[in-house]
Amino acid sequence: MTQHEVHHLHRVGWLRAAVLGANDGIISTASLIIGIAAAQATHADILLAGSAGLVAGAMSMAAGEYVSVSSQSDTEKADIAREQKSIEENYSYEVQELTDIYKKRGVDSALAEKVAQQLMAHNALDAHIRDELGLFENVKARPIQAALFSCGTFAIGAALPMLISWIVPLSFLIPTIAISSLVFMAILGGIAAYIGGSSIVTGALRITVWGAFAMGLTALVGKLFGVTVG
């Protein structure tokens, strides 16, 4: 029977952006609501601040992801352009460069040189992008994808504590938001770990611990200073 290995590396780009967006959406909005509630704000003020935080946070995530991933993409493109120029001007040097890479990976000298020559003849730039620069098609920077995933998942994550704040009375708001948000974060961490093929328990614990710390600290600040904290 043929064995087929399942890999998850192709999910890295969008999964990172999605988890980051949803995680920030839950933590920042829940913390904001808890902080304001701890400062004795009215229910209307809490809802207003939470709604503003949702919109501002989603736009900030989109802009931040797009700018940061675009910078990564620009760097990748610049390196590829330099590599293309070097191949055109110093072909023999680039062959030797690939040969040395393969030799360091354990291939004997004669075979390493032969492989380098054949790959250069087939697609020189592709060989150097993959083996020298370490860039692969499934993990290349995609700014628009990252921005959309971060924005969308932030809004979804932030909508969860916002929905609860609409339903739950003010007197029960802080514990309800805290407990439900920790549950949401544990589920998110578990799902992200499952999609990425890693430990579900580790993924859930990691995000839950940091979320609890963020909400606790914000509640303390709101209680001590009685101000709106974002």
Q: Per-residue pLDDT tens for 156-195?
A: 989 999 999 999 998 899 889 989 988 888 888 787 777 7
Domain co-membership, 62 together with 176: yes
Domain co-membership, 103 together with 209: no
Domain co-membership, 71 together with 177: yes
- Please indicate, yes or no, if residue 40 is contained in any of the structural domains: yes
Cβ neighbour number for residue 153 with a 10 Å cutoff:
24
Domain co-membership, 218 together with 151: yes
* CA distance linking residue 23 with residue 181, whole number of Å: 10
For 134, the token pair is: 């370490």
Of 97, 115, 139, the last residue of a domain is 139
Domain co-membership, 133 together with 56: no
> What is the average pLDDT value for the chain, to the nearest integer?
80
- Please indicate, yes or no, if residue 52 is contained in any of the structural domains: yes
Residue 5 confidence (pLDDT): 44
Domains identified in the chain, total number: 2
Top pLDDT among 112 and 140 is at: 112
Domain co-membership, 154 together with 220: yes
Rounded to an integer, the average pLDDT of 202-216 is 82
Cβ neighbour number for residue 112 with a 10 Å cutoff:
19
* CA distance linking residue 83 with residue 88, whole number of Å: 9
Residue 176 confidence (pLDDT): 92
Domain co-membership, 116 together with 192: no
